[in-house]
Amino acid sequence: MPINRDQVILVDEDDRPTGTADKMTAHRQGLLHRAFSVMLVCRDEGGAVKVLLQKRAAGKYHSAGLWSNSCCSHPIPGENTHAAAVERLQQELGIADPVSLSPMGFCRYRAELDSGLTENELDHVFVGTVPLDLTLRPNLLEVSETMWFDAECLAAALAADPCRFTAWLDRVWSICRKHPLLAR
């Protein structure tokens, strides 16, 4: 039987599975479902910490053209969330070798989006440390652009111009800040 990549895992407030739904149905009806967000980080030649942001492709079903964390998606029923995050990095960003990800916790958020959709997610957050010269081959159906952004400036940028960023990035960033490379 083929794997249906358009299914999401519905969960309760404690992340216990309660069923499954089609991804678009979950977003149209605002059903609580499991998701993951990954932030890749590195140090540049001068020692400054950088985070990899992606600009979502124009064809995305929501939040198109907005800057977001390095990678985000939903595990499918029966799939381990950590393994799904590693695989999705390869699919979205074309990273050849698996990245070691540190689980940082999760955030619960609900946001009304463009095109009448609602994000209602329990979002597992991971951080991966990578080299600055990491080779990226973004899937242009998912990602229109990538940028290494100064970690010290991200919170200020989110506050100054939130309309440039996805609805979940500020919450994801606050959890990522617990990572030893990002903690201040």
Average pLDDT over residues 51-55: 98
Q: How confident is the model over 90-104, as pLDDT tens digits?
A: 999 999 888 899 999
Catalytic residue among 72, 107, 142, 176: 72
CA angle 69, 52, 105 (to 5 degrees): 45
Q: How confident is the model over 147-157, as pLDDT tens digits?
A: 999 999 998 99
In the residue annotation, 145 being an active-site residue is answered as no
Task: Find out whether 119 is annotated in a ligand binding site.
Answer: yes
| Rounded-to-integer distance, Cα 67 and Cα 165, Å | 5
Sign, CA torsion 23/25/29/33: negative
CA angle 152, 155, 160 (to 5 degrees): 120
Catalytic residue among 42, 71, 107, 121: 121
Is residue 8 within 8 A of residue 74, CB to CB? The reply is yes
Q: What's the pTM value of the predicted model, to 2 decimals?
A: 0.94
Q: How confident is the model over 6-41, as pLDDT tens digits?
A: 899 999 999 999 999 999 999 999 999 999 999 999
Domain boundaries, the chain: 7-176
- For 7-176, CATH gives 3.90.79.10
Q: How confident is the model over 154-180, as pLDDT tens digits?
A: 989 999 999 999 999 999 999 999 998
Task: Find out whether 74 is annotated in a ligand binding site.
Answer: yes
Per-residue pLDDT at 1: 45
CA angle 41, 125, 49 (to 5 degrees): 15
Cα separation values, 11 from 77, 88, 177, Å: 11, 21, 26
Task: Find out whether 27 is annotated in a ligand binding site.
Answer: yes
